[in-house]
Structure 1
Amino acid sequence: MGAAPSAGRRLGWKAGLSAGAALLIVGIAALARHRAGPPARCAPGMVALGPRCCGEGQRLDDAGRCAGAPSRCGAGLSAAPAGCVAPGATVRIAAGTLRLGPSDWEAQGVVEAREVFVPAFSLDAFEVTEQRYAACVAAGACAALPLRGEPGVPVTGVTLEESARYCAFAGGSLPSRNQLAFAAAGPSSRRYPWGDTGAVCRRVAFGLRAGPCGWGATGPELAGSRPDGAAVHADGRVFDLAGNVAEWAAPDRPGDGMSGTHGGSWTDEAASALRTWNRRLVPVSTRSPDLGFRCAYPP
């Protein structure tokens, strides 16, 4: 028979086992924390720089802009010398019935429950960017505005009239509140453009100024930088119907000095601002760094 292990060897073996078990527990806990944490904010092809998602190879300048030529951009965006830019694409929205209020308890007492038939129309897949608006200014059809200097971000600080003038130049008009709501909610009355749950930072550009998705932002994200939050339709996807910039809708009663904005923006800190039924009435002369627009067109 062999000699029994010494007391020192037994103690060393037990200590090694305990250390291994402790490392395993720490590893499992770290994996659990990683899986339970918030999803990555930026889509593949983009990198998180401060509160922004910029193209790979870019830097964040002192004004909070994505600067420099990107080596890669997110899916659907093109890499240009001045940054990542969304195309001027449109999506056809099939006719259907918009149902607001009854299916969402949070809408009770906030929005008038109603059903309305929305005829087919086409809608900009992306919010109107500084690049597109600058082309209208160059053509002499739009008023010049102070721009941030990033071609791919939505144009902001634009009044209702200026937005409508651009849409006329582009061959369309400002969408009605029913068109914007239906593009976001769809015939199934989604709570958010992507579905009924999951208002997380990788899907929507909100809470970028004072959390929860970022701190210190001074303007919106690149149009189309959150592809996971797009509203899916049979003919394509519509981006940023929640968050990034709130969007002008054509007034219900032209001439009364007020109109609705939809979708919430990069400044909003609560997910309730992102609901497909959420609407705010503001004066038509409003200029705000979190207010932009997109256009609707005949189908």
Structure 2
Amino acid sequence: MKNRQVVSALGLALTVLFAACAPKATSEPPTPTLVPVVVDTETPTLVPVALSGPNAGTFLSWMDGSTLAYVPAGQAVIGANGADNPAHSVSLSAYWITRTKITNRMYSICVGVGVCSPPASAGGTVYTNPAYADNPVVGVNWEQASAYCTWAGGRLPTEAEWEKAARGPGGQTYPWGEQPPTCGLLNFNNCVRGTTSVVAYGDSASPYLALDMAGNAFEWTRDWYDPAYYAAGPIQDPPGPENGVSRVIRGSGFESDPSQIASAIRRPASPDYSSRDLGFRCVVQQPINFPPYCQTSPYLPVTEFPTPAASDCAAPVAQRLGPSCKGKVASNTILLPRGSTYTVRTDGYTCESALVGDQLQVTCYGPDSTSGTLEVCNSTCAAVPTPSWSGNAVCDPGYAYDPATRQCLYAPVASQPGPQGCPPGYALDSTGQTCRPTLGLDNQCPLGQYYDAAFAGCVPANG
């Protein structure tokens, strides 16, 4: 007879159960139950703070690996007195825009979880080559671009938002100013004959420090194309026409000649059009505090553990080392007693093992936000233990314990300053009772937060 431990991974989760690797019994073992635990811990509180608010060009990291740049509310000059773009002023509410075009690396995460579809063949060779991971994703139509931005918690920018982010409030001709375009400022006019990294031209940043807004690849916007819209549209947050036949493309590509680089140029394209030099970026109107995508899955609390009923043999004990997102690939690692054997029971999951001292280290990889099962066996047992649950269910900061599933679920900052400790971006002050914003160990704010100069700390982007 054998003892087994079933390790069930939900995204980056590990759930540990004990049962027997034995012939099927005549009756099923009792269902695992949760032993209630009373946590007697005083809850830290969040206190109001005086904030200056984000300034133009403030950055925050976002859940898909991108960086958002802040564009404050106010007026901006858009248009250039062309046939379809008469120059005029508009007033826009504040927003955050991805500092670069969405990259192949970012887009592949959305494809990997089944939300986005792969680019068309026009972008396939570059998209699938790891050497181009930081190049803009191309070969996507309007629907694909819109689906990605929705998944990432945002949307495609309106024409007015895109143009303000590129030209600044004064409506300069190019993102970097009035200097004519050169191969040292942007990827255009076949200087490179293909796309380049979205951060390759740092000297040509826009007034809001957005990068790659000219050259490299054109960009989809949210608006329908109407040649008369710039002359007749509203001046407060123009949303674009209600309907149309073509969507608007802005910016320029790696083959564009110097006459096509000005940021005010509007271009129509069918929504199902895709090209090897057409990508996009996203706008997030109200960012929330959010962990990286491969950290949002539930997981088993570290201090909650299963205890087998009395038995003549010891069930195998697994130690979870914690989830990892190294290289943006979700994985779990557990330690098993030396001599244990395991079997992967779920398609799509792979595990690697190595002896580390007296323990077997097993690292498993699988699709994020899905469930997988690993069966671990010990051949020394001859009886079927009855599992039960005990321990103090304490979750990591920023996660809340769910008794129904016995898992730690991600909770935004505002709703989870509980006994688990302070949420991401906060730390206890000298009193030991109050959570206050702080920089992380990497001297950076957590995802969804920016550094506020007035408070000298990290605060959520949505206040």
TM-score by length of 1: 0.63
Cross-structure match for 1:160: 142
State the SS of the aligned residue for 2:274: coil
Q: 1:281 aligns with which of 238, 246, 268?
A: 268
Question: Could you tell me how far apart the structure 1 residues matched to 2:266 and 2:244 are?
Answer: 17
Residue type of the partner of 1:240?
D
Q: 2:163 aligns with which of 167, 171, 181?
A: 181
Residue type of the partner of 1:250?
R
Residue type of the partner of 1:283?
S
Question: Could you tell me how far apart the structure 2 residues matched to 1:111 and 1:273 are?
Answer: 14
Cross-structure match for 2:153: 171
Cross-structure match for 1:250: 222
Q: 2:197 aligns with which of 212, 222, 225?
A: 222
Q: 1:98 aligns with which of 76, 79, 94?
A: 76
- Contact 2:78-2:160 at 8 Å conserved across structures: no
Cross-structure match for 2:90: 116
Q: Percent identity?
A: 28
State the SS of the aligned residue for 1:232: coil
Deviation at 1:256, TM superposition (A): 2.2
Q: Deviations over 1:93-150 (max 9, x none)?
A: 111212134xx6xx44452222211111000011100000000000111012225112
> Which deviates the most, 142-151 or 219-228?
142-151
| Compared CA separation, residues 124 and 147, structure 1 to 2 (3 A) | farther
How many residues align? The count is 199
What are structure 1's unaligned runs of at least 5 residues? 1-85
Question: Could you tell me how far apart the structure 2 residues matched to 1:108 and 1:138 are?
Answer: 43
State the SS of the aligned residue for 2:249: strand
Question: Could you tell me how far apart the structure 1 residues matched to 2:154 and 2:168 are?
Answer: 21
Cross-structure match for 1:198: 180
Q: Deviations over 1:168-191 (max 9, x none)?
A: 111100000000000011111111
- Report which of the two has the higher share of strand: 2
Q: Deviations over 1:64-112 (max 9, x none)?
A: xxxxxxxxxxxxxxxxxxxxxx9511101111212134xx6xx444522
Deviation at 1:199, TM superposition (A): 1.2
Residue type of the partner of 1:92?
Y
Q: Deviations over 1:192-217 (max 9, x none)?
A: 00111231111111111xxxx34xx2
What are structure 2's unaligned runs of at least 5 residues? 1-63, 224-239, 287-463
Cross-structure match for 1:10: none
Kindly indicate whether residue 248 of structure 2 is the aligned counterpart of residue 260 of structure 1.
yes
Cross-structure match for 1:232: 207
Question: Could you tell me how far apart the structure 2 residues matched to 1:228 and 1:180 are?
Answer: 19
- Contact 1:147-1:155 at 8 Å conserved across structures: no
State the SS of the aligned residue for 2:222: coil
Deviation at 1:291, TM superposition (A): 0.5
Instruction: Look at both structures and tell me which one has the larger radius of gyration over its CA atoms.
Output: 2
Cross-structure match for 2:284: 297
- Contact 1:246-1:265 at 8 Å conserved across structures: yes
- Contact 2:214-2:251 at 8 Å conserved across structures: yes
Question: Could you tell me how far apart the structure 2 residues matched to 1:155 and 1:147 are?
Answer: 11
| Compared CA separation, residues 130 and 147, structure 1 to 2 (3 A) | farther
Residue type of the partner of 2:207?
V
- Contact 2:136-2:197 at 8 Å conserved across structures: yes
Residue type of the partner of 2:221?
A
| Compared CA separation, residues 254 and 133, structure 1 to 2 (3 A) | farther
Residue type of the partner of 1:264?
S
Q: Deviations over 1:201-236 (max 9, x none)?
A: 11111111xxxx34xx2x311111111111132xxx
Question: Could you tell me how far apart the structure 1 residues matched to 2:185 and 2:72 are?
Answer: 24
Deviation at 1:277, TM superposition (A): 0.6
State the SS of the aligned residue for 1:196: coil
RMSD over equivalenced CA pairs, Å: 1.8
Question: Could you tell me how far apart the structure 2 residues matched to 1:184 and 1:294 are?
Answer: 12
- Report which of the two has the higher share of helix: 1
Q: Deviations over 1:241-282 (max 9, x none)?
A: 111111000023354231111111111022x32212111011
Question: Could you tell me how far apart the structure 1 residues matched to 2:261 and 2:65 are?
Answer: 24
